[in-house]
Amino acid sequence: MRSLFLTVVPLLTSLAVLPSLVAADEFCEDLWFTRNAIMDRAGYCFGSNLGRAIFDNTDCLGKNVRLNRGDQETVATLQSMEHDNDCRVDTSQSQLSLKDLKHRHALWFLPIRDLSESACIGWLGDQAGLRAGPTLDAPIIGKIAPGDTIGYSYLPHANWDYVQVFDSNWNFKSAGWSDLRITPKTCRQIAG
């Protein structure tokens, strides 16, 4: 009996940790993408399989690119977060598991992933547009429809949130920046 206990308890413990490892991989991939998207926009030429698969090198300038002060600070913050979370993205692969990758490429302003998550489950408001940046001047790149679930996993910027939108079965639908205020009156349920 003791032998069975010694075998089952570690197995159950490892299974309980598995979802957090998957979430950690997605978190690290998210940080990696944002950091490298900033570098891509500055003209960085990617050499890794992953960098070449995710970003377009046709307009790159080289390996030594200049970042403005804000981008330098953001890259430093992302590198610190990657270090603090022991992130190790496999750059020999050719894809990321980010559901919103197409939307992220369309963004004017890149979001920074947060460790906390929350959601508005069952949006009760009207259809709303999601924008490429945290401003009303940014183009609409997605939408929230009544009944959707709105996921919050990113640091807010100037009273705007980068959100991911899911259907009632948690299938990804859309993403973008929103200035909607979530209250108990606008959601069937608030989680997180």
**Are 7 and 39 in the same domain?**
yes
Confidence (pTM): 0.84
Tell whether 37 is covered by a domain: yes
Q: Find all residues with CB under 8 Å of 50, minimum gap 6, and list them.
A: 89, 90, 91, 92, 93, 94, 95, 96
Question: Of the candidates 84, 118, 133, which is a domain's last residue?
Answer: 84
Write down the pLDDT at residue 192. 83
Tens digits of pLDDT across the chain (192 residues): 433 333 333 333 333 333 333 466 899 999 999 999 999 999 999 999 999 999 999 989 999 999 999 999 999 999 999 999 999 999 999 999 999 999 999 999 999 999 899 999 999 999 999 999 999 999 999 999 999 999 999 999 999 999 999 998 999 999 999 999 988 999 999 998
Closest CA to 109 of 63, 180, 56, 178: 178
Query: Judging by DSSP bridges, how do beta strands 113-123 and 161-166 pair with one another?
Result: unpaired
**Are 65 and 123 in the same domain?**
no
How many whole angstroms separate alpha carbon 153 and alpha carbon 161? Answer: 9
Tell whether 89 is covered by a domain: no
Tell whether 156 is covered by a domain: yes
Write down the pLDDT at residue 2. 35
Structural domain boundaries, residue 12: 2-84
Q: What number of other Cβ atoms are within 10 A of residue 20's Cβ?
A: 10
Write down the pLDDT at residue 17. 33
Tell whether 92 is covered by a domain: no
Write down the pLDDT at residue 23. 62
CA angle 132, 23, 54 (to 5 degrees): 45
**Are 59 and 122 in the same domain?**
no
Q: What number of other Cβ atoms are within 10 A of residue 30's Cβ?
A: 25
Write down the pLDDT at residue 109. 96
Length of the chain: 192
